[in-house]
Amino acid sequence: MTKVLSGAGLRGQSAGQTALCTVGKAAADLTYRGYDIDVLADKASFEEVAYLLLYGALPNRHQLHDYEQKLMSLRPLPDELKAVLELIPKTAHPMDVMRTGCSFLGNIEPELPFDKQPSLALHAADRLVATLPAMVVYWYRFSHDGVRVNTHNAQVPSLAGHFLTMLHDEAPSELHTQVMNASLILYAEHEFNASTFTARVCASTLSDLHSCITGGIGSLRGPLHGGANEAAMDMIEPWQSADEAETELMKKLANKETVMGFGHAIYSERDPRNDVIKKWSKKLSDAVGDEYLYAVSERCEEVMWREKKLFCNADFFHASAYRFMGIPTKLFTPIFVCSRVTGWAAHVMEQRSNNRIIRPSADYIGPDHTNWVDIDQRP
């Protein structure tokens, strides 16, 4: 007899082993290779976390310097890729832009068979870490502003600062760089989520890295996985006071509308990433003299807990944090990709290290037998 898995969508089922991340092992636990997320977000650079996930340990000072220099050298986009990005219309979904950019890069810079030169997989991963931010910002600035941005930018070592510099044509403040750095760390890895599992399934067939990452981007594009920060921004942006937010949110709850950015499939008490980004959002609010957006966000948090016992996940206060930094809403989820590519690539290499093709069985629920009917006798 076939064993039926009880969790809808495989929720609650173990699909393999990983040494990369724990999610919800304790009530509100998130670690990358054993390091607590709040410690990493407070003390590490995103480049350190990328190195930790991809290379297996935190770098020493010399290794970090070399890695930062390597990523900076890998930033320039090939002319062929720029030409493709310039053909994508302004109306395109930015996640589609990233999907196309990743896939096209795999055409002009293909990963060689990893069984012959495994180090090239890490090089290909580093190239994607360095170029994915440039892909989406280059397209956005060209299609929206008619500007071809400098994607190399050798004066700004951090990826966080590089992204904001390309977007705004000026070096960001130290506060904005710190917030973006923390945001990238918070989104870097999250165990066997849908997009990561997509990447691992693709890797299990011995496909190339670019195909695996493109698959991850496609899964993250779906509104049930990525995009909650965009949805949260679209919801809270029109509300001009905390009281208005409570009134409108209560209407949504009465109408049984879905409110994005709250609750989580894994965490039972709180999302530890929210604690970090909420503090940064408050600092940004104070810095820009915000009079209502943070208060609106905080009131939404209070109402959802009071009425539904739902806590904010990582996405909700990211919405206000990104808005305070002048980031267009349509670029919120692509930032997720710029970060999560590190986790995806690390999972691809982990899958390859002890691979068996991921091919689960299904429980058939169709008819036992159907008799053939010639076409002329069919109703």
By the 10 Å C-beta count (0-12 exposed, 13-18 middle, 19+ buried), 342 is classed as buried
- Catalytically annotated residue among 38, 96, 225, 275: 225
- Catalytically annotated residue among 264, 271, 290, 347: 264
- Element of type H or E holding 288: helix 272-288
Q: Select from 70, 5, 17 the least CA-distant residue to 192.
A: 17
Active site residue 264: yes
Active site residue 225: yes
Q: Can you read off the two tokens belonging to residue 321? A: 């944090």
φ and ψ of 376, to 5 deg: -75, -20
Q: Can you read off the two tokens belonging to residue 207? A: 């496909």
Q: Burial code of 177-208, b = ≥16 C-beta within 10 A, e = fewer?
A: bbbbbbbbbbbbbbbbbbbbbbbbbbbbeebb
The CA distances from residue 352 to 20, 129, 257, in Å, are: 14, 20, 42
- Catalytically annotated residue among 208, 271, 290, 315: 315
For residue 191, the number of C-alpha atoms closer than 13 Å in the C-beta half-sphere is 18
Active site residue 123: no
20 neighbors 50 (Cβ within 8 angstroms): no
Active site members:
225, 264, 315
